[in-house]
Amino acid sequence: MNKKITLILLVSMLLILCLFSPGCRKAKPPTTPKEPNLFPLVVNNWWMFSVEKHTVAGTVDSVSEYFEKWLVSHAVEDTSSIEWFVLEKYRSASPESAEVLVDSAYYGRDSLFIYTRASFMGVNLDVIASPKNPKEIPTWSQDTTIMGLLIRINGSYVGDTQITVPAGEFQTSNVMLNVDAIGRDTVNVAKVFYWLGDNVGPVMVIYKTSTDSTVMKLYQYQVQD
């Protein structure tokens, strides 16, 4: 009887020791970090920006200020691997005044990248605006030939930046696009900077060419991811 009790006590002690021993506990599977959603392309999502545009003509620098709203209007049926959406662009003098549809743009995504459709000399080109996770793909490049001219687009992840805009303070991923036309000489066509917030989208956008520059800062937004 005493031997039986002793055996039960020993087994109980071993079970208790095993429960508190790292080697006996079931290991938890490693968690996969959630991929950031830097541009929530969902129908009816919208972003309103305060815009300041500088245009240089000779020695004259003219400045125009207005508000621009980007609305994800609808998805586009496409046979390619890129899922495209139409963004309607509305312009107004103030956030409260009447909006006028002035343009539309195409933004898309696949498993790795966020795209925008740009026009060079009348030819549409699907441009990588940003990797979906810039930390994993910090640099990228695209070449295309249009009318015998080589267009080279180099992109890079500048880093994480905390910025303040009229809509508030945001932690963002800053990416840059550098567009060059390469012939006998290399001419810089444009530079584009995006500050993209996780589950927010574009917080600030800057376009620069030889004749003008545009700064867009997020004023209001409504998104679901």
Domain definitions of the chain by residue range: 46-70+132-222
β-strand partners of 85:
75, 107
Would you state the pLDDT for residue 2? 54
Would you state the pLDDT for residue 220? 98
Would you state the pLDDT for residue 225? 79
Q: Indicate if the alpha-carbon torsion angle 197, 200, 203, 208 is positive or negative.
A: positive
What is the separation, in whole angstroms, between the first and last Cα of the chain? 67
The Cα 113–Cα 83 span in angstroms is 11
What residues have CB less than 8 Å from 117, skipping those under 6 apart?
Answer: 84, 105, 106, 107, 108, 124, 125, 126, 127
User: pLDDT tens for residues 175-189?
Assistant: 999 999 998 888 898
Would you state the pLDDT for residue 69? 98
Q: What does residue 11 show for φ and ψ, rounded to 5 degrees?
A: -65, -40
Sheet architecture: strand order including 113-120? 123-131, 113-120, 100-109, 83-92, 60-76, 46-57, 212-222, 201-208, 186-197, 168-182, 149-165, 139-146
The Cα 113–Cα 110 span in angstroms is 6
Would you state the pLDDT for residue 172? 98
pTM of the model: 0.82
| pLDDT tens, residue order, the chain (225 aa) | 555 544 444 445 444 444 344 454 455 555 556 789 999 999 999 999 999 999 987 777 899 999 999 999 999 987 788 999 999 999 999 999 999 999 999 999 999 999 999 887 778 889 999 999 999 999 999 998 888 889 999 999 999 999 999 999 999 999 999 999 998 888 898 999 999 999 999 999 999 998 999 999 999 999 997
Would you state the pLDDT for residue 31? 57
